[in-house]
A and B are shown apart, each in its own frame.
Chain A
């Protein structure tokens, strides 16, 4: 029973956070020089004032901002997120379809970076101080500082252009009807963007895991384990992984923000039709404010969900916090 209390607190905090995000993003969107009227005038030169007045009325431009905000928020709560001006579909439908495509990409990248990060971090810790560790550590530090879009371009140049192993972009082969696309083709299209996206966080996780495992190796209980005849490898499997996994899981679920941010770059470079690509469509060329605000709210929920899961899992796995909650 009392175990649910911290979760209730997190959720209450999440709701206030989402309210704050909605207010801030709404204010920013209202303050931008682009509104439906200016956009309409730009795309339809010589439009009549009558038509413009109709438009202003339809979009509620003359209403006071607070009233407009409340109207928008009410719609969000009722499930009416407005209509995307660039896709000519309800915002929620656009997000739904696009997120499904993005999810495949993000989930693959997230799993890859988790496995590689933890594995490489463990390897570095076992070989700590030796040449292998030093080299891999430098490579990881180097990769931490590489921007996603750059590594994406390099992958495209090497694996798609030079070697021709992977397609240049898109989620499915061009010109093939959706029902004829095979799973193999989808995976083939997914690999390069997913690798690009996972490069973002795996070196970070590897360095953190290495640090945590070295702490374990320097700990009193590792000394005692050694005094009882356990080897370095045995200590890793018996004590190391157990102790390093909790921070790694917390980090991995806490990295949803970076994952989402990275997907914007990765999807644009590979023309991958996911939510990340939609962000830039909505935010730049088309200035699709309903979609843009919708994605902001959705991504805030997504990132919050990641942090919530991290908190809950840490509480569940770590026997020490279990005790504290009791």
Chain B
């Protein structure tokens, strides 16, 4: 069931490639806007880079949350999924995993290129990519709660950002913090360990909360 959901959502995403590309290009554009607004001074850009890339990843991941449940909700598939005897949290976990593979993984792969634009040193690029790799699944998992709660509401796009962005803050702090620590020459493994801990905790609890929120929204 879990793999079936992942496979199905990935197939749907492949059939509608533009959605994936829109999120990716949003990410690229936001990151590229910062040098234009604060100036091309390389030293400043280098210190800003981890924060800028992470904030842009947060926003991009959040913008694509609308697609997580909305189309299944509109065509009635979601209702069938809720009625099925399968465990709903597992199903939500599958959908969140597919969402991450569609919207998170492209960002992770793009991040080193954007880091080069900001003149990040090589090992900082590795840390940046790795921190995004650990952090972006957490964003998809927490986002699933918000997406479930705002399902079918008017203005749900803005609302989901109000609900979800404050909850993203710890991920942002430790994700960007890992890169900054690496650039400052201090140990960054504690940050990555904490990001990993967030990931494990959210794998256990977020599908459960998101399933509860779907049940509330579909009553």
Interaction A to B: no
